Structure 1
Amino acid sequence: MAATALVFVAACGGNNGNNAGSTASSSSNAGASASASTDSDSGKPVTIRLAWWGGDTRHEYTKKVVDMYEAQHKNVTIEVEYANYDDYWKKIAPQAAAGELPDIIQIDTSYYSQYAGKKQLADLTPFFGKEIDVSNISDNALKAGEYGSGNYGMNLGVNSLGFQYVPETLNKAGIDSIPDNWTWDDYVNMAAKAKQAGIYIDDGFRPEIFFAYYLRTKGATLYNADGNGLGYDDDSLFVDYFGRIADVTKSGAAPSADVKAQIKGVEDGFTVKGQQIGVWQWSNQYDALQKAVNKPMEIAPMVGPDMEKGLYLKPSMFFSIAESSKVKSEAAKFINFWVNDVEANKLILGERGVPVSSTVQEAIKPLLSPAQQQVFDYVSWSEQHSSPMDPVDPVGSAEIIDKLKTLSEQLEYNQISVEDAAKSFRADATSILSKNK
C-alpha cells in the first residue's frame, strides 16, 4: 500500500466496523434517462446512478463532489442513492436480482466476491490507463480489487485496525498506559481493572474482523486460499478467542449485545460519555469519534503476541460498475474524478480511507487536523508493522458473518458452550463455502 499514508475525516460507520448513518435518500435528478449517450464529451445527456452507504458526514460531502462533477460536465446528471449500512444492502440485493443495480455502487469487502462472483460487476481492467488514470496509484492498491481473472472494484483507500481510547478514562480505571506490545493477558487484566472502577474497557469486537485478525497471529486464516473452506483446522483457536471475549462481556467489563443495541450513533456511545475506555475499529473512524469525545485521544496497536503477523492494511471499500450499466465508460470517468481530482479530494479528505493516488495524498496532507495527523502517524506505523492482507472474502461470507455474530451473542448469554459454538460454526461455514467448489 502507499508508503505515504493519509488520513480520514469521518466514520465508515458505527463502532467495530459497523457502518451507521442516516436512512436512505435519493437526489431529485430522477427524470433523465439512464440509457442516454455514453459519450459525455459529445454534449449529449448522460445519466449515472451512484449508490453508497454511510453516515450524514459522508452523505453531505459525497453530494458536494457530485455537484462539482456535474458543474464540470454540464451534460451529465448523477442520481444519488444512499442509506445506512444495513438498509443499503437490503436495497441493493433486490436491485441486483432484478438486473437494476445503480451504475456505480459502493461495495464492501464482505460482499465483494458475492457480487463479482455472480458477474454482476463489470471488469474495470479495460478502463485502467484510459478512463481511469492509474499512473499515481500503486500496483498493490489496484490489486486489492482483483477477483478471479478480473478486477471488479476501484480501491478507494486503506485503513488499519487499532484501539482508539481516551487516556483520561484509562487513568480513571487505574491504568497508566497501554504498552505497544500488549498481549491478550494484558487486555484481560485491564478489563478487570476497568470493571472494578465501574468503567467498560470497550464495546466488543466485530466477530469476523477480529477473529480473522487473531487467526492471522496464529499463522492461520478465516478462509482458505480457494474460498471453499475455512483456513484453520484447530477449533481450539475458536474456543480460545471467543471464550475470552465472551468471558470479558459476561464479567461486566464490556456491554452486552442488548445494551449496545440502545446506542444510536457515535455521540451516544459509552466512550463519548466517559463510561468506556475505548473502541476497536478502523482508523478512518477515529476522527469522528475524537470529535464526539472532544478530549485528547490516542490509538493503541492491536493485541499480540505476533501482532505484526495479524495486522494488515485493508481496502476500506470499492467503487464498482454494474455489469448491467449502459454507461460504463461514463461511470469509469466519474470514478477517475473521485480518486484523482485534487479539488474533489479536498472535500473527501480521505474519509473513505487513505487515498490511493500519491498526488492526492501529497495535496491534502497540509489540510489535515491534529486528529487526522494522528491517524496519518498510526497508518504509517501500521505499514511498517503489518503483513499482506488475505484475499477478498469469498462468496458466502455474508452468511458466515451473520453466523459468527449470532454465535458470539449466544456465548455472551450462556446459551451455548464455546466448544459447541466452534463445532456449529465449522459445520455451517463448511456447508456454505463448499458451494464455491
Structure 2
Amino acid sequence: MFNIRKRRMAAAAAAITASAALVLTGCAGGGGSEEAAATYDPDEEVTLNLAFWGNDVRAALYEEAIAAFNEEYPNITVNSSFLGFPEFWEKRQTEAAGGGLPDVMQFDYSYLRQYSENGLLLDLEPYLGNIIDTEPLSENILSIGVVDGETTGIPTSTNAWGLFTNPKLLEQVGVEEFEGGDWEDYTAWVKEVSDAGAGSLWGGTDFTGRIQNFEIQQRAKGDDLFTEDGEPNFTEEDLAAFWEQGEDARAVTIPQQRLEEIYPVSGFDAGLTTSELTWDNFGAGYLANLGAEYTELGLVAPPVTEEGAQDLYLKPSMLHSIASTTEHPEAAATLVNFLVNSPEAGAIFGTNRGLPASETMLEGAELDPIGQQIRDYEESIAERLGDAPPVPIVGYGTLEEKFRQLGQELGFGTLTVDEAVEQFFNEMDVVLNQ
C-alpha cells in the first residue's frame, strides 16, 4: 500500500527486540520489570484491549486501522470498544478503581494528569525512539504528553485556538473580514457587523465567557494559568480586568438570552454570528451544522494582546496512552506507534481525530478542504506558537465549566464582575484542595 511499509516491517521486529534491553525498572504494572523485558518475544500471540470514545463512524475507522495493523502484526489480536465521551470516562473511572483499565486507550488531555499522578498510565520513555518512532513527532508535540517527567501519552493530532468567520454572512451584511488587530479592534469589528445585522445577526459572542481567551491574554504576559506545581498563576485583579473587557463586548455581541434559546448549538453554528473564537478542529462540525449552502469558513489568528508574544500553542485533540497494568507493554507500544505514526492510519482516519501530529501519518492523510485549511492555519501562526502549558491540573474541566457559567451570568447581568471573581476563586480553592 505504501512504499515504506516493507522497510518499517523489517525494522519493527528488530526495534521491538532491541527495546527489551531498554525497558527500565520502576515502571508500574507488567511493563516495568527487567524480567518481562528479557523474556519478551515479539512473535508471541497476544491479545490487547483498545478503548476509544466516538461514534459508529469512528468505530468503523478503528476497525479498518486494526485490520491494517494485523497485516503487519498478525500475532497481536486487538479487541476494540467505544462509548460516548462522558460514558467513556465513567467506565474508565470504574475500571481504574478495580485495576482493570484497557491496555491501550484514546486519552483526553484534561484527564492525563489525574491518571498519570495516580500511577495508572505506563511511562512510555523506554519505548520512545525504538518501538515508538519519535522522528515524525516534534519535541513540542512529544512534550505535550509529559507529566512529572514521565511521558504517559502520545498525541494523535493537534489543534490551536483560532477565530472562525462566516464569509457568506459577512457578504450579506456588507462587512469585510476581520483583518486582525487587538481585542479592542475585534470588538469594534463585532460592533460593525452587529449594527449592520440590525438585531438579526451579530458579529460574535462575548469572548470573555471562554477561559481560553483569558489564558492566551495571560500567556501574552508570559504566564500560564497554572504553574508546573498546579498553583494558580493569576490574581483576582487579573481576572477582574479580563471580565471587565466584556462590558464593551456584551453591548455589541449576541444577547445571552438568544444563545439560551438555541442551545445546545452556538450562535455561530446557528448562523446568527459571523465569528467564533474556538479550537481550530471545530470547523468540520460548524459546516455540518450550518448546512449544505455553506461551503467555506474563514480561519484567522485570534486578536493580539501583545505584539510578538507567543500566546498560542498546540493542544492535543487526543492522545494514546497505555495502562500501567498491561501485561504486554511492548505489543501495546507497537499498536500505539501504528495509530499515531503510520501513513496507513493517516489514510484511514484523515482528520477524524484532528490534524495528524505525526509527519508520517500526515503524509498518508488525504486532507479535505477544511483539513487543509486547518493545516495552513497552524503553519501561519508558527511565530505565535509557544511551548504548551503544563498538563491541566486535576479538576481543570470543572473550572472551565464554572468559568463558562459565570460568563453566562455576566451576560444576563445577574452578577457583577467582583462577584464573579469571588465565586471563581472560591471554586478554584475547592478544586485545588480536594
TM-score class normalised by the smaller sequence: 0.7 to 0.9
Matches within 5 A, 1:294-305: 294-305=294-305
Q: 1 CA distance for matches of 2:47 and 2:191? A: 53
Deviation at 1:245, TM superposition (A): 4.3
Choose 1 or 2 for highest CA Rg: 2
Alpha-carbon distance in structure 1 between the residues aligned to 2:63 and 2:357: 21
Q: What residue is the counterpart of 1:430 in the other structure?
A: 429
Shift of 1:176: 1.5
2:406 match: 407
1:173-227 CA-partner distances (Å, limit 9, x unpaired): 4421201224244325514632635114345667333321232234333112321
Equivalent residue for 1:158?
Answer: 158
Taking structure 1 as reference, are residues 39 and 399 closer, same or farther at Cα in structure 2, changes over 3 Å only?
Answer: same
> Structure 2 regions of 5+ residues with no counterpart?
1-38
Cα offset for 1:301?
Answer: 1.2
Q: Please give the alpha-carbon distance, in whole angstroms, between the structure 1 residues aligned to 2:81 and 2:300.
A: 36
Alpha-carbon distance change, 191 to 319 in structure 1, aligned in 2, over 3 angstroms: farther
Give the aligned residue type for 1:137: L
Offset from partner CA, 1:260-288 (integer Å, 9 cap, x none): 5343xxxxx65455333133222223234
- 2:225 pairs, out of 195, 214, 222, with 222
Structure 2 distance, partners of 1:280, 1:175, is 18
Structure 1 pair 67–288 and aligned structure 2 pair: CA distance change class (3 A): farther
Cα displacement (A) at 1:243: 4.3
User: Distance in 1 between the 2:346 and 2:161 partners?
Assistant: 23
Q: Is the 8 A contact 2:122 2:322 kept in 1?
A: yes
Instruction: Please name the residue that 2:59 is paired with.
Output: 59
1:261 corresponds in structure 2 to 263
Please say if residues 190 and 253 of structure 2, whose CA atoms lie closer than 8 Å, have aligned partners that are also in contact.
no
Q: 2:13 maps to what in 1?
A: none
Distance 1:415 1:288, change over 3 A: closer
**Cα distance 1:84–1:208, how it changes in 2: closer, same or farther (>3 A)?**
farther
Check if 1:280 corresponds to 2:282: no
Q: Secondary structure at the match of 2:310?
A: helix
Pick the aligned partner of 2:214 from 211, 214, 226. 211
Corresponding residue for residue 316 of structure 1: 317
What does residue 12 of structure 2 align with? none
| More displaced 10-residue stretch of structure 1: 240-249 or 62-71 | 240-249
Q: 1:193 to 1:342 in 2, by over 3 A?
A: closer
Q: What is the CA distance between 1:125 and its match in structure 2?
A: 0.6
Cα distance in 1 for residues equivalent to 2:255 and 2:68: 44
Instruction: Give unmatched runs, 5+ long, in structure 1.
Output: 1-37, 264-268
Residue by residue over 1:43-76, the C-alpha shift from the partner in whole angstroms, topping out at 9 and shown as x without a partner, is: 52x2222222235543332232123223443343
Distance 1:182 1:174 in 2: 22
- Contact 1:40/1:76, CA 8 A, preserved across alignment: no
SS in 2 for 1:220: coil
Question: TM-score normalized by structure 1?
Answer: 0.79
Q: CA–CA distance in 2 between the matches of 1:241 and 1:249?
A: 13
Q: CA shift at 1:246, angstroms? A: 7.3
Change (3 A) 1:411 1:136: same
1:311-390 alignment runs, 5 A limit: 311-364=312-365, 367-390=366-389
How many angstroms apart in 2 are the aligned matches of 1:81 and 1:434? 35
Give the residue type in structure 1 aligned to 2:320.
F
Q: What is the Cα deviation at residue 167 of structure 1?
A: 0.9
**How high is the TM-score relative to the length of structure 2?**
0.79
Cα distance in 2, alignment partners of residues 102 and 79 from structure 1: 10
Residue 105 of structure 1 corresponds to 105
Distance 2:243 2:84 in 1: 28
From 194, 201, 208, give the equivalent of 1:199: 201
Contact map agreement 1:145 1:155 (CA 8 A) in 2:
yes
Aligned to 2:416: 417
Who is 2:124 aligned against? 124
Give the corresponding residue for 1:172: 172
Aligned-residue CA RMSD (Å): 2.9
Q: Which residue of 1 aligns with 2:16?
A: none
**Closer/same/farther in 2, CA of residues 259 and 81 from structure 1, 3 Å limit:** farther
How many pairs were matched up? 389
The range that moved more, 243-252 or 190-199, is: 243-252
Letter in 2 for 1:316: S
The range that moved more, 377-386 or 394-403, is: 394-403
Q: Which amino acid aligns with 1:281?
A: T
Counterpart of 2:73 in structure 1 is 73
Q: Percent identity of the aligned residues?
A: 25
Check 1:378–1:262 CA distance in 2 against 1; reply closer, same or farther (3 A cut).
closer
Change (3 A) 1:433 1:261: same
Code of the aligned partner of 1:287: A
C-alpha displacement of 1:230 = 0.9
